[in-house]
Amino acid sequence: MLLNDGLLLETYGQYLQKMKVEPDHTQYADYGWENVPETLNFSWLAYSLMLPEFSRSLANIVNQLGNYARRLKSWDKVLSTYDEDLRLELLFQFVEPIAMVSLTLPYAIQSRFFFSIAHLSHQANKTKLGPGWKDDLPDDRDIAREVARKYGVYWSSYAAFDASVVTIFSEKHRLNTDDFRHKHTHRVPTQVVLGHAGLVRRGKDTIGRGVKYEFGDRPPIDISVLADELSTEFHRSLAAFRDFKLVVAEQVEEIKRNNSLP
């Protein structure tokens, strides 16, 4: 179906009106809170430069997730009034790109939290290890939760941060989204808001301990379900961001007390 410009403009106008009245999140990740002293010596240059970059990047991606969840809720209200054929065309035109990007964000947010705190903790650990500190952080591509934990263990606020971050992109989230992020990158994913997929699925036969084949398509992830799921992931990410700030605050205070380190 070829949609004319007038219909597209009218539909987008309805979406903008829905966005105006769609309840906004009461909080978002904030900026400019780092409070690193300008008088730190050269030993802390890496930390003082990485912290604002990492915190800004984390705030951006967390807030992006919250914003996209709100957009999807607004689009769901607009498109629920259209007939099926027209709705599918408008989903393709306006919604599917947002939905697909949104589903990659929880995993990216979790990974970025661990990456950022691993680097910051590694530098801040100079205050804990003194002359025994070694620049032995693994390559960036190898930094994940276990690496972050190894370097964050010296900080009392790290355990709460770790517990918050692992609630993002949890097993339940992967189940609710049919493991979209992994399948989209490595396999054939469930469709998002459009189309059907998974006509043939191969898996383990837990009874016979062999393999089994399942037949029958799977419907796309519903836009309203997706919006609620992403909103939940946003609030989990926001909680992790608050705990990230607590770890940083603890580290900055130690750095201030050890500013004379060579």
149-195 residue pLDDT tens? 999 999 999 999 999 999 999 999 898 887 777 776 766 656 565 55
- The pair of structure tokens assigned to 197 is 């997929």
Q: Where are the domains of the chain?
A: 48-192+223-257
Structure confidence at residue 260 (pLDDT): 76
| Contact by Cβ (8 Å): 59, 79 | no
**Other beta carbons within 10 Å of 164:** 20
User: Over the stretch 218-234, which tens digit does the pLDDT of each residue have?
Assistant: 677 889 999 999 999 99
Decide: 165 and 114 in contact? Cβ < 8 Å.
Answer: yes
- How would residue 8 be classed by pLDDT, with cut points 50, 70 and 90? very high
- Contact of 120 with 254, CB cutoff 8 Å: no
Considering the entire predicted model, what is its pTM? Answer: 0.89
**Numbers of helices and strands, H then E, in the chain:** 10, 2
Strands (DSSP E) contained in the chain are 200-205, 210-215
Burial class of residue 10 in the structure, from the number of CB atoms within 10 Å of its CB (0-12 exposed, 13-18 middle, 19+ buried): exposed
Please check the confidence at residue 66 and state whether its pLDDT lies above 90. yes
What are 64's two structure tokens? 């992006």
Average of per-residue pLDDT values in the chain: 90
User: Each residue of 122-158: pLDDT tens digit?
Assistant: 999 999 999 999 999 999 999 999 999 999 999 999 9
